[in-house]
Amino acid sequence: MDFVKEIEVLKKEKKAVILAHYYTLPEVQEIADCLGDSLALAQYAEKTDAETIVFAGVHFMAETAKILNPEKRVFIPDMGSRCSLADTCPAKEFAEFLKENPDHKVISYINCSAEVKAMSDVICTSGNAERIVGSFGEGDKLIFAPDENLGSFLVKKTGRQMLLWNGGCHVHFKLDEEDYKEAAKAYPEAVFIAHPECRESLLKHAAFVGSTTALIKYVENNDAPMFIVATEEGIMHELSRRCPSKKIMILKKRERKVYNCAYMKLNNLQKIHACLKDEVNEIIMDREIMEKARKPIMRMLSLS
Ligand code: SF4
């Protein structure tokens, strides 16, 4: 079956759009109506007038699209597409943590469950996190969750002290300074850039630290001919498309041939086709949680 053709037909029939994250498979990125990072996808989801959204990403992203579009049908190609970072912040434990620190305002990275979002004052992505932190008054006590590396990066960048939840992404967290040193030894002339979910020991070597979109723009607008990028390897598809004449390498974990987000790679054309044709894997959520989680997401969007 020609899935690309069939998907196009079904999309028209069902007035559907496909949203895809940069970390998905190249063939999934190719058919997306909107390809982007978490912020761009949330912004698109808020504005689309499509009746159906198929979200090729991970579960919290599809949940966010549903929260922004409670009346629309939102599907995820594979219900197993979780996020290891979101999973490091169980709602029950987070609620206990907030109880212990009742006088704090809560900033949650978008990579968290709807329940955690519902307990937050505002959501952020790596693309707008500095601005969101800066939106709080000097006197406000802040909690940042769930990514500890991004939280530490923000503390350093903004000078604001924050209580940090101890969570992390298995892909970014495992990359270490030795991986960088090995790559830099092999390609000493390459410019090194990194995503803020990486550890501080890695970020300190980076010429630039930014969100997935910011990393792509940096490579695009920088005259250097060679780059090493520390993030998930799916970014390479868009980077190669936009910068065909540059040599760009993803920072690899030493002695590992494949190093990627297995959850993102669960999205494929066959499953997207099944979502559209058979209407499987629909995101169904509790109304009350959706309403509570919507407020901090809308606050983020208005601040972005
Ligand atoms: S790369 Fe990490 S943060 Fe991104 S979806 Fe995968 S597990 Fe979550």
Rg (CA), the chain: 19
pTM score of the predicted model? 0.94
- 120 falls within a domain: yes
- 244/269 same-domain check: no
Does the beta carbon of 264 lie inside 6 Å of ligand 1? Answer: yes
Protein residue whose Cα sits closest to atom 3 of ligand 1: 169
- Among 168, 184, 210, the domain boundary falls at 168
- 175/232 same-domain check: yes
Protein residue whose Cα sits closest to atom 5 of ligand 1: 83
pLDDT in tens, 198-219: 999 999 999 999 999 999 999 9
Q: What does the pLDDT read at residue 257?
A: 61
- 161/90 same-domain check: yes
| Element housing 3 (H / E) | helix 3-13
- 161/182 same-domain check: no
Which numbered atom of ligand 1 lies nearest the CA of 21?
5
Q: What does the pLDDT read at residue 52?
A: 96
DSSP 200: H
Protein residue whose Cα sits closest to atom 8 of ligand 1: 83
- 292 falls within a domain: no
Q: What does the pLDDT read at residue 258?
A: 62
> What is the 138 CA–ligand 1 centroid distance (Å)?
31
- 259 falls within a domain: no
- One digit per residue, the tens of pLDDT, for the chain of length 304 reads 899 999 999 999 999 999 999 999 999 999 999 999 988 999 999 899 999 999 999 999 999 999 999 999 999 999 999 999 999 999 999 999 999 999 999 999 999 999 999 999 999 999 999 999 999 999 999 999 999 999 999 999 999 999 999 999 999 999 999 999 999 999 999 999 999 999 999 999 999 999 999 999 999 999 999 999 999 999 999 999 999 999 999 998 877 666 799 999 999 999 999 999 999 999 999 999 999 999 999 999 999 8
- 132 falls within a domain: yes
Does the beta carbon of 84 lie inside 6 Å of ligand 1? Answer: yes
Smallest CA-to-CA distance from 30 within 18, 38, 41, 40 is with 18
- Among 168, 192, 227, the domain boundary falls at 168
Which numbered atom of ligand 1 lies nearest the CA of 57?
5
- 48/93 same-domain check: no
- 195 falls within a domain: yes
Q: What does the pLDDT read at residue 220?
A: 97
- 198/180 same-domain check: yes
Q: What does the pLDDT read at residue 241?
A: 97
Instruction: Provide the terminal-to-terminal Cα distance of the chain, rounded to the nearest Å.
Output: 41
CATH of the domain at 190: 3.40.50.10800
| Element housing 141 (H / E) | strand 141-145
- Written as one letter, the residue type at 42 is A
- 39 falls within a domain: yes
Protein residue whose Cα sits closest to atom 1 of ligand 1: 261
- 194 falls within a domain: yes
Mutate to test the pocket of ligand 1, among 264, 265, 266, 267 (most ligand atoms within 8 A of CB): 264
- 138/175 same-domain check: no
Domain carrying residue 58: 3-81+264-284
pLDDT in tens, 143-169: 999 999 999 999 999 999 999 999 999
- 257 falls within a domain: no
Count the domains in the chain: 3
